[in-house]
Structures are given as C-alpha cells and as structure tokens.
Amino acid sequence: MVLPTSEETKQIDQASQIITEAEYCVALTGAGISTPSGIPDFRTPGSGVWTRYSPMEVASLSAFRSHPDRFFNWFRPFIKNLTQADPNPAHLSLAQLEENNLLRSIITQNIDALHQRAGSKIVIEVHGTYRTLTCLGCYQHMETSPQILTSFLEKSEIPICPQCGQFLKPDIILYEEQLPADIWGQAREEISKCDLLLILGSSLTVTPVCDLPHIALGSGANMIIINKTSTHLDEMATVSIHGDLAEILPLIKDKVLNEKE
C-alpha cells in the first residue's frame, strides 16, 4: 500500500469529519469500486470492456433479441469473472459504515453483487443484477440458481424458460432499455433525502445516473468524490480525491469509526 501524501491525509481527515457529522449519508458507486476486485470497467482506454466489444452489437436489447447467442458468448466470460471476484476493502468499508449507522443506502451502477457479499443490506441496483432472469416470452421471473449458472458457465448452455421455451434474459439493463421505474424511484428518493452523497468509482458519464448528484446538490447536500480520474463535478464537491478506493476508503472508514468511539 502506498502511504497517502500530506494533501491526501488532509482530504481524508476532511472527508471523515463530514461523514461523522452527516445525518443521512448515501453512496453512489460505479465500476471503479470493483476494479480492485479484478472486474474491468467499461470505458478505460486499453482495458475497458467497450474497447474490445461494440456495446450495441453484444449488449443491446435488439442484439439480444436478434442474436442471443452472440450476447451469451460475450456474457459468459464476463459473468465468470464476476462470480470469481471477491469484495475488496472498499466494499467492506461501506458495509461497516452501514453497520454503524453512518451510511443509509448504496445506489450502485454495478451488477456484480459485491456490495451484498460484503455485508451491505440496503443496495439499490439501478442497472440490474445477474442474479435473476426474466423470460421475454411469457415474462416468468426466477432466480439464477446455482444449477442454471453452472450449466451456463461450464456447459455453455443458454438458459431456457421452463414454461414457454424462450430464452431467459438476465435482469441487467441493456442498451435500449429503460431503468425499472420502481428501482429508479427508490434511488431518486434516497438522493433527495441525503445531506451527504459519496460518489465512489464513477466517472459520472452514464445517463440517467449522472443526473442524481445534481438532485443532491440542488437540495444542499455535501458531496465527496473518490475516483481514480477526474469527473466534471470535482469542483462542486466538498472533497474530491483521486486515488485507489480500496486504499483510501478504508482509511476514511477507520478514522470515522475511531471518532465515533
């Protein structure tokens, strides 16, 4: 681990104080919180998923309907990577903050379920999850059972609806799909109630999620941004730290919990 600079130490102290004093803290997380777990993000030049694939060809609703085999061939190694990944210290830190009533909820753009595996209870998955499936024929909804997952990953069997025989679509939000109204409503409600928004590992470039911070700012909330690269809202944040979340967030968490004792 690289020791924080004096400037980073000052920022960590400031962030810790703001979290300690907040009454309703909400976290918004993006792909950057899971990259330390070995899950690549989508847009980083050279390593992002979309530098190797065209999203409209493999991850759009029309692509799924017209070429489901192409979608599942792309999705298989991606999901295998997710299932083999473990929560990192950043995920664990958020779970500990929630356990100590210092974090009310997590709104995540990720579909990897690492927040839940780390122990977080209130997680709003605005881009869906691979843990459930829906039939596009009869709309039957079911969990992605270990049997379905094993058959898909190890035997390359595409999940089929037992009721009508159509393909089962993982409940992730593809291009050309709208976010589920109920989930999006929950996210907006949490944002409107918060007096502190933690933006963690998000470049804030994907709509409509990138609009959520503006709701918080409009309500007078403080904002802390921790991301490896700059965002267009850095100057509007109370604290903005560029660095590795798996290293920085545990330092903030430890200081917050120590101040609470």
Domain shared by 122 and 132, yes or no: no
Element (H, E) at 102: none
Query: What is the reported pLDDT for 6?
Result: 80
Kindly state whether residues 94 and 219 are assigned to the same domain. Answer: yes
Dihedral-angle region of residue 68 (phi above 0 means left; psi in -120 to 50 means alpha; beta otherwise): alpha
Written as tens digits, the pLDDT of the chain (261 aa) is 566 778 889 999 999 999 999 999 999 999 999 999 999 875 444 444 444 556 667 778 888 888 888 888 888 888 898 999 999 999 999 999 999 999 999 999 999 999 999 999 999 999 999 999 999 899 999 999 999 999 999 999 999 999 999 999 999 999 889 999 999 999 999 999 999 999 999 999 988 999 999 999 999 999 999 999 999 999 999 999 999 999 999 999 999 999 876
Last residue of a domain, one of 146, 172, 198: 172
Side chain identity at 255, as an amino acid letter? K
Range of the domain at 146: 45-84+128-172
Together in a domain, 231 and 140? no
Which of 153, 172, 191 is the last residue in one of the domains?
172
Token code pair at residue 171: 């409940």
- The model carries a pTM of 0.92
Answer yes or no: do 105 and 166 share one domain: no
| Lookup result for tokens 């780390």 | 118
Q: At a CB cut-off of 8 Å and minimum separation 6, what does 122 contact?
A: 98, 104, 105, 106
Phi, psi torsion values for 168, nearest 5 degrees: -95, 130
Residues 71 and 93 in one domain: no
Same domain (yes/no): 233, 157: no
Same domain (yes/no): 74, 164 = yes
Catalytic residue among 127, 141, 232, 242: 127
Q: What is the pLDDT of residues 103-140, one digit of tens each?
A: 999 999 999 999 999 999 999 999 999 999 999 899 99
Last residue of a domain, one of 149, 172, 195: 172
Sign for the pseudo-dihedral over CA of 175, 78, 131, 199 = negative
Kindly state whether residues 60 and 189 are assigned to the same domain: no
| In a shared domain, residues 119 and 224 | yes
151 with 231, same domain: the answer is no
Total structural domains in the chain? 2
Q: Looking at residue 130, what is its pLDDT?
A: 92
Question: Is 115 annotated in the active site?
Answer: no
Amino acid 73: pLDDT: 86
What is the predicted pLDDT for the residue at 175?
87
Give the pLDDT confidence score for residue 185 in this predicted structure. Answer: 97
Contact 69, 85 (CB under 8 A): no
CATH number of residue 73's parent domain: 3.30.1600.10
Residue 176 near residue 62 (C-beta atoms within 8 A):
yes
